[in-house]
Amino acid sequence: MTHKSGVVTTVHDNRLYQGQPSKYPNYKIVIGDDEYTYYGSGDAPCKVGDTVSLQFYVNKKNGKFIVSNDFETGIPKFQVMPKDDLDDPIVNDKPAEPTKVDTSFNPASYERTYVKDNKSMEIFAIAMTKSALESNQLKADKDSIAKFIVSMIQLYKESFEQ
């Protein structure tokens, strides 16, 4: 299957043949120079000027482009793309108000105060825990390690922070 998207230039209704309902009701949808056949007896899937996206295959007998259907649901793989809200006069009947930027957060100050101290404390606690585990001075169970880390954080705060 191949994909195509673009603006519809023409839509032909082929649901009737010589005044009688057709055996295979369809619409011919033209995008640029290519014509795609959309099978369906309902209303037209799009109108001239719509931006559409579709998947299609080439008919082996006649070489025409046919809009593909979903295998499970049978729904054509055809979609009218929503128009940009900037072009919609109903949505944009008022000029947009400028939004104020929140500048109260200072990343440099945050980095100096919290991240640096917490990172140093974390490295200290990990190094001490690893050393104690490798020298078999600390049991390798959850409670022992948790208590040891809490005591190392307390030791760090007492020794290095003022």
d(CA 137, CA 120) in angstroms, rounded, equals 23
> How many independent structural domains does the chain possess?
2
Please indicate, yes or no, if residue 88 is contained in any of the structural domains: no
Please indicate, yes or no, if residue 117 is contained in any of the structural domains: yes
d(CA 35, CA 124) in angstroms, rounded, equals 70
Please indicate, yes or no, if residue 63 is contained in any of the structural domains: yes
Are 29 and 45 a contacting pair, CB within 8 Å?
A: yes
- What CATH number does residue 48 fall under? 2.40.50
Out of 48, 82, 116, a domain closes at 82
Segments in the chain forming alpha helices (H): 107-110, 116-134, 142-160
- At 142 the three-state DSSP class reads helix
pTM of the model: 0.49
**Which residues have C-beta within 8 Å of that of residue 48, sequence separation ≥ 6?**
8, 9, 10, 11
Q: Same structural domain for residues 16 and 72?
A: yes
**Each residue of 25-83: pLDDT tens digit?**
889 999 988 999 998 878 888 889 999 999 999 999 999 999 998 888 888 889 998 87
Structure tokens at 91: 């949505």
Q: Same structural domain for residues 67 and 130?
A: no
Q: What is the 3-state secondary structure (H, E, C) of 21-50?
A: EEEEEEEEEEECCEEEEEECCCCCCCCCCC
Higher pLDDT, 68 or 111: 68
pLDDT more than 90, % of the chain: 30
d(CA 59, CA 39) in angstroms, rounded, equals 13
Please indicate, yes or no, if residue 115 is contained in any of the structural domains: yes
Structural domain that includes position 22: 2-82
Alpha carbon 137 to its chain centroid, in Å, reads 51
Please state, as a whole number, how many other Cβ atoms lie within 10 Å of the Cβ of residue 155: 14
**Each residue of 120-131: pLDDT tens digit?**
888 888 999 999
